[in-house]
Amino acid sequence: MLVVAGLVQRESGRALAQEAPSDSAQDAGENPTTVQARELFAKGAALSRRMQWAEALDAFEQVARIRSHPVVTFNIAVCERALGRYTRARHTLAEFSLAATGPNGAPDVPAAIVEDARNYAREIDGLLVHLHVTLRPRDARVAIDGRPLAVGAPGVLVAGLAAPGAGEPAAQDDFELIVDPGAHIIRASRDGHGDIVLNPSYPPGVHAALDMQLETLPAEIRVESTVPGAIVLLDGRDIGVAPVVVNRPAGVYRVEVQKKDHVTYATSVTVDAGEHANLTARLTPETRPLTSRWWFWSGAAAVVVGGIVATYVLTRPTPQPPAYQGGSSGWVVSTP
């Protein structure tokens, strides 16, 4: 069983275990990893005495990866507290409290360390910022200072615990959020919605409200035509000459592109919020039958009139001349 070989040294109001935990049989045959952990622990302790808390934290975290022990966990919490990472320090102190209890329920580390851990936890609880968050929509992705949120107690999310990365859905629309005091960058995003980016600063121990309601983005529809001067209609309304761009709410729309002497282009387009739809109307010249053209009917009318005249000429009776007068002699010459 591991025991603590050292006492707690107080430095600038911060208690830190200055000697590494060791085996009861450390007098001989220590393996290389134990030796490495001991050296890193001594390095972390030396750095903490110089108040190089970030470097000391790195050394103790390396020790924890090699060989976990409540004393190492406690020292990590002390460094996090010194760096102002209160949510992380509070979480680490909770881990220490669990790890520091021996099989019989009694503390497995010196009472002085246990007492310091309790005092630090009470102090940090008074420094943490509690925000009542209203988030719409509830599946928006939220990140604070470049980290997604971690789940604490039911209905409570905590900033600063997760590894750096993109925001993740909160999956709640009303919840409590615990953050460190000070300035933060809060980002909420969702597809089809405008991002929210906030840069608030909170004093220690404050309770405040945070409202994040993302606005739905319109869909964009762009219509082009292969023929210049074509008219674009959206749901039967003239929206201009192609190319044209319009913003509309998400939905289904009827698009028509018209040009004289061309076949009308018609289609339906479905767009989601924030989506960009690009349509190109390929218009083809209209092919009309001969009988649909005006000059055909003008010519046809002339042919009909001419036909009527010819028929009349061919079928009309031969006109008879009037009766001839023989004059005073009454002579009339006739041909057989």
Higher pLDDT, 5 or 313: 313
Q: Whole-angstrom Cα distance, residue 70 to residue 64?
A: 9
What's the CATH number for 129-213?
A: 2.60.40
Higher pLDDT, 333 or 221: 221
Task: Return the CATH class of domain 219-281.
Answer: mainly beta
pLDDT digits (tens, 9 = 90+) for 10-33: 444 445 666 666 554 454 456 888
Evaluate whether 129-213 and 219-281 have a shared fold: yes
Regarding the domain delimited by 3-125, which CATH topology (the fold level of the hierarchy) does it fall under? 1.25.40
Lowest mean pLDDT among 87-91, 177-181, 283-287: 283-287
pLDDT digits (tens, 9 = 90+) for 178-196: 999 999 999 999 999 999 9
To the question of pTM greater than 0.85 for the whole model, the response is no
Q: What share of the chain is helix, strand, coil (3-state, %, to 5)?
A: 30, 30, 40
With a cut of 60, say whether residue 244 has pLDDT above it: yes
Q: Which two three-digit tokens encode residue 112?
A: 């002085």
With a cut of 90, say whether residue 312 has pLDDT above it: no
Domain range list for the chain: 3-125, 129-213, 219-281
Q: Decide if 242 contacts 265 (C-beta within 8 A).
A: no
Rg of the chain in Å (alpha carbons): 47
Secondary structure, 3-state, 246-259: EEECCEEEEEEEEC
Relative to beta strand 129-136, strand 141-144 is unpaired
